């Protein structure tokens, strides 16, 4: 792997945000700003030039939300904000930039992850202000939710990736009070609905981000063994379920978001060693 920071930066530092592809661009939604407060900004970025434009404003500022693109709109699920318990709101951002609260989760949920596969959105893990959640939710319209299974290891702050009909859930925090992470790799089969633990990472991992290139999942940064902020790049092979170190980011990072554009991974924002949100975009290429 070859990784280096882009020659340009985001219009503002951001961490714990949602990032979704928008053609050959990407859109950054919400997150923590430079003052570590939730932001309602929606910004579209052209990674070819570094140019950006305002693409809307959320109805409710959030960080640690989950989001997916569904056609021309972006759906944002839950997240943390002014309330310690987070929000149950589902926000829908139209291509015009208009945002509406289009639904409600069964309970407030932050620190979760989302994946879009076979015409449905699945939500994994999270925190309701008191408990780490194991229910896996499915929705096709962003307003009605069905519990389709339960993670064998309930987590918050996992990384997720879609490979074929499967969604893989990597690591995450399993005990917030004691700061304990897991090395579990969990898998949802979107056809059968089964949720199982299928592998283990080399070490417990949380607050990482994931992206898929060439049928492999790349795990980027995060906390290893709950305490060490890492610059590692790991490659997970769904066929063998083996995880291999393959490179390093320019600097340790956590709580970033990743998007694949033009055959490369763009790692957007995140938090550095001082936990301050970053304005950087790191470009990762496979040799």
Alpha-carbon gap, residue 14 to 4, rounded angstroms: 18
Spell out the per-residue pLDDT of the chain, length 287, in tens: 899 999 999 999 999 999 999 999 999 999 999 999 999 999 999 999 999 999 999 999 999 999 999 999 999 999 998 666 789 999 999 999 999 999 999 999 999 999 999 999 999 999 999 999 999 999 999 999 999 999 999 999 999 999 999 999 999 999 999 999 999 999 999 999 999 999 999 999 999 999 999 999 999 999 998 889 999 999 999 999 999 999 999 999 999 999 999 999 999 999 999 999 999 999 999 87
* Number of neighbours of residue 178 by Cβ within 10 angstroms: 8
State the Cα–Cα distance between residues 47 and 280, nearest whole angstrom: 12
- Give the strand pairing for 2-5 and 173-175: unpaired
pTM of the model: 0.97
**Residue ranges covered by each domain of the chain:** 2-285
Q: How many C-beta atoms surround the C-beta of residue 74 within 10 A? A: 25
Of 2.60.120.10, 1.10.150.120, 2.120.10.80, 3.10.150.10, the CATH number of 2-285 is 2.120.10.80
Q: How far apart (Å, rounded) are the C-alpha atoms in residues 82 and 60?
A: 9
| pLDDT number for residue 287 | 79
**For the chain, what percent of residues have pLDDT higher than 70?**
99
Tens digit of each residue's pLDDT (9 = 90 or more) over 199-250: 999 999 999 999 999 999 999 999 998 889 999 999 999 999 999 999 999 9
**For 60-85, how does the pLDDT look when each residue is reduced to its tens digit (9 = 90+)?**
999 999 999 999 999 999 999 866 67
pLDDT at 85: 73
Helix (H, G, I), strand (E, B) or coil at 134: coil
- Residue 219's nearest CA partner among 236, 242, 198 is 236
Answer yes or no: are the C-beta atoms of 122 and 188 closer than 8 Å: yes
CA distance 81 to 33: 12
At 81 the pLDDT is 83
Query: Tell me, what's the pLDDT at 83?
Result: 62
């Amino acid at each position: 792997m070859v990784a280096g920071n882009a020659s340009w930066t985001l219009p503002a530092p951001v961490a714990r945000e949602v990032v979704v592809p928008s053609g050959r661009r990407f859109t950054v939604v919400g997150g923590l700003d430079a003052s570590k407060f939730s932001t309602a900004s929606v910004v579209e970025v052209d990674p070819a030039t570094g140019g950006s434009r305002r693409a809307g404003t959320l109805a409710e500022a959030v960080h640690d939300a989950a989001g997916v693109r569904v056609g021309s709109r972006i759906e944002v699920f839950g997240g943390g904000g002014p309330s310690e318990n987070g929000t149950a709101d589902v926000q829908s951002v139209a291509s015009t930039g208009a945002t509406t609260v289009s639904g409600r989760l069964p309970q407030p949920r932050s620190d979760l992850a989302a994946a879009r596969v076979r015409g449905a959105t699945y939500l994994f893990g999270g925190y309701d202000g008191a408990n780490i959640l194991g229910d896996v939710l499915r929705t096709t319209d962003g307003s009605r939710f069905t519990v389709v299974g339960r993670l064998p290891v309930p987590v918050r702050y996992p990384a997720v990736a879609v490979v074929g009909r499967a969604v893989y859930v990597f690591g995450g925090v399993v005990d917030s009070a004691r700061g304990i992470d897991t090395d579990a790799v969990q898998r949802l089969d979107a056809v059968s609905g089964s949720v199982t633990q299928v592998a283990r990472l080399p070490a417990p991992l949380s607050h990482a981000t994931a992206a898929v290139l060439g049928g492999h999942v790349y795990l980027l940064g995060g906390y290893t063994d709950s305490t060490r902020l890492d610059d590692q790049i790991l490659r997970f092979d769904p066929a063998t379920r083996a995880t291999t170190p393959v490179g390093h980011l320019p600097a340790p990072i956590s709580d970033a978001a990743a998007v694949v554009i033009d055959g490369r991974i763009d790692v957007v924002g995140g938090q550095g060693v001082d936990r301050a949100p970053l304005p950087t975009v790191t470009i990762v290429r496979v040799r």
